[in-house]
């Protein structure tokens, strides 16, 4: 017996499309399937609509990915109330890096994404306020924030893929077997080149960058 088709009037109405709802659905797909699946076609399927309907709210996939990044920046949180300005700055930057490390596919996209939403603005405002608290001139702080976020993003992107133990072993062997005759500096520092826990190296890098930002004037 053939089932009688349901009238459109009997079907529950679909919720109206909104930019917020589209981004929320994209974040859900990212968490479940990775950034490669966050496409207009996949998103339209999830929202039971056509891809053309989404372009009213999001211009293209790049803008969609930037919006997803901005949404996840909301999990970074504000600077802690306690600690020196350096400690609080490092806390925020580390939280940003960890957020990207939790979403490996997004980390590499973040190198070229251009978020402009409220969470991104909050992050920039927080970093600028901490550098202002330290007395860093505004021009240096403006360039410095860009440099700090670039390093944090690149660090997360570097570790975004599956790391091969064989590759690390090959690198370790090449550095430690380097000849003092042909590569004297590598031979003298082979142990230091790969030393330190990732968290320690990340903290050191932020400290080194902040020291440079404090002391290096922006050219006219």
Domain housing 211: 80-162+173-215
Structure tokens at 71: 């949404």
**Within a domain: residue 133?**
yes
What is the structure's pLDDT at 9?
47
pLDDT at 3: 55
In a domain, 146, yes or no: yes
What own/partner pairs with CB < 8 Å and gap ≥ 24 does 1-9 have? none
Q: Is residue 21 part of a domain?
A: no
Cα angle 175, 179, 185; round to 5? 70
Tally of structural domains, the chain: 1
Whether 187 maps to a domain, the answer reads yes
pLDDT of residue 5: 54
- CA torsion, ordered 138, 118, 146, 69, to nearest 10 deg: 170
- Determine, yes or no, domain membership for 23: no
Inside any domain, residue 125: yes
Q: Flag whether 14 is in a domain.
A: no
Does residue 148 contact residue 95 with C-beta atoms inside 8 Å?
Answer: no
Q: What is the pTM of this model?
A: 0.84
The reply to whether 152 falls in a domain is: yes
For the chain, which residues score pLDDT lower than 50? 7-9
CATH code of 190's domain: 1.10.357.10
């Amino acid at each position: 017996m053939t089932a009688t088709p349901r009238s459109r009037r009997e079907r529950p109405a679909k919720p109206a499309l909104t930019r917020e709802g589209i981004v929320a659905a994209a974040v859900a797909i990212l968490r479940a399937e990775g950034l490669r699946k966050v496409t207009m076609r996949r998103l339209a399927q999830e929202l039971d609509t056509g891809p053309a309907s989404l372009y009213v709210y999001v211009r293209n996939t790049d803008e969609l990915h930037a919006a997803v990044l901005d949404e996840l920046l909301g999990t970074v949180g504000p600077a802690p109330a306690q600690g020196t300005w350096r400690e609080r700055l490092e806390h925020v930057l580390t939280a940003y890096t960890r957020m990207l490390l939790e979403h490996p596919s997004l980390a590499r996209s973040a190198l070229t994404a251009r978020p402009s939403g409220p969470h991104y603005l909050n992050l920039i405002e927080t970093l600028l306020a901490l550098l202002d608290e330290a007395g860093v001139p505004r021009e240096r702080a403006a360039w410095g924030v860009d440099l700090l976020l670039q390093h944090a993003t690149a660090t997360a992107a570097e570790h975004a893929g599956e790391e091969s133990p064989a590759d690390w072993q090959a690198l370790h062997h090449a550095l430690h077997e380097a000849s003092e005759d042909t590569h004297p500096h590598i031979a003298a520092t082979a142990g230091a080149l790969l030393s330190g826990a990732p968290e320690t190296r990340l903290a050191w890098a932020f400290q080194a960058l902040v020291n440079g930002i404090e002391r290096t004037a922006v050219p006219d």
